[in-house]
């Protein structure tokens, strides 16, 4: 039995090279540094992102992204779904914590000068991930479809609309028209659950690979 399993493992190894990947993951050096607390924030951000994914998928089972049903579906989650209130609360608060942790991680790496050669791409991908985190926060804010979410999104898109040259185009792109309507809700929902997660998965994978490849700065 053992020889058969070994043969199967060798078959996959020959085609996938998974042992090399495992060795890359296992060989990670973490420096001893007097500011060692700052090294935790990258992992904290990743953990909170995973919490976002898990709770977001659970909310997606009941959420209805239309102007007619969005608010009612959120109320249903909060009052009728077992532990729905808890899942939504965890999703909301962990989103704020994730953005805060991402900011701390970004500025701590700047303070520790972790962007120096050969970690320039690690820094750049980290900066992109920070902006993607803000994108998640912005697109998710409208989804409850209440007055606060509506007017906050209106203000946010108005600010985007005064951007030089591209402002009006950007405003219509975000709103799906000239005003915040159900089309805006549907559009931001699509960004929140499809476009941003797809981009984040690619950039995050590259970022983690670079961290693993070059190690943490000393």
CATH of the domain at 64: 1.20.810.10
- Check residues 1 and 196 and name the one with the higher pLDDT: 196
170 in a domain, yes or no?
A: yes
Q: Residue 63 — φ and ψ, nearest 5°?
A: -75, 140
187 in a domain, yes or no?
A: yes
Mean pLDDT of 141-153: 98
Per-residue pLDDT of 3-39, as tens digits, reads 677 778 777 777 776 776 677 666 665 555 555 687 7
Mean pLDDT of 143-154: 98
pTM, rounded to two decimals: 0.86
* Angstrom distance (rounded) from CA 180 to CA 184: 6
> pLDDT-based confidence at 110, cuts 50/70/90?
confident
17 in a domain, yes or no?
A: no
State which residues form the domain around 63.
35-214
* Angstrom distance (rounded) from CA 70 to CA 89: 17
Residue 31, pLDDT score: 56
15 in a domain, yes or no?
A: no
Q: How many domains does the chain have?
A: 1
2 in a domain, yes or no?
A: no
132 in a domain, yes or no?
A: yes
> pLDDT-based confidence at 215, cuts 50/70/90?
confident
Residue 111, pLDDT score: 84
Mean pLDDT of 138-164: 97
Residue 14, pLDDT score: 72
* Angstrom distance (rounded) from CA 190 to CA 174: 11
> Average model confidence (pLDDT) for the chain?
90
23 in a domain, yes or no?
A: no
Residue 158, pLDDT score: 97
Q: Which has the closest alpha carbon to 135: 114, 106, 166, 160?
A: 160
Among the ranges given (36-50, 90-104, 149-163), the one the predictor scored with the smallest mean pLDDT: 36-50
Mean pLDDT of 199-215: 91
45 in a domain, yes or no?
A: yes
């Amino acid at each position: 039995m053992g020889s058969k399993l070994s043969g199967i493992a060798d078959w996959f190894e020959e085609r996938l090279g998974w042992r090399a990947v495992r060795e890359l993951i296992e060989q990670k050096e973490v420096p001893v540094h007097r500011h060692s607390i700052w090294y935790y924030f990258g992992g904290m951000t990743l953990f909170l992102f995973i919490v976002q994914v898990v709770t977001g998928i659970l909310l997606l089972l009941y959420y209805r992204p239309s102007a007619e049903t969005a608010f009612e579906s959120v109320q249903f989650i909060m009052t009728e779904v077992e532990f729905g209130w808890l899942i939504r609360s965890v999703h909301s608060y962990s989103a704020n914590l994730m953005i805060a942790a991402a900011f701390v991680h970004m500025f701590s790496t700047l303070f520790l000068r972790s962007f120096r050669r050969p970690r320039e791409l690690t820094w750049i991908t980290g900066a992109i991930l920070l902006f993607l985190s803000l994108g998640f926060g912005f697109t998710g804010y409208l989804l409850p479809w209440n007055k606060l979410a509506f007017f906050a999104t209106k203000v946010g898109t108005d600010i985007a609309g005064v951007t030089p040259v591209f402002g009006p185009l950007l405003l219509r792109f975000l709103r799906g028209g000239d005003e915040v309507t159900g089309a805006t809700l549907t559009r931001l929902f699509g960004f929140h659950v499809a476009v941003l997660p797809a981009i984040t998965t690619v950039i995050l994978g590259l970022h983690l690979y670079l961290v693993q490849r070059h190690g943490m700065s000393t």
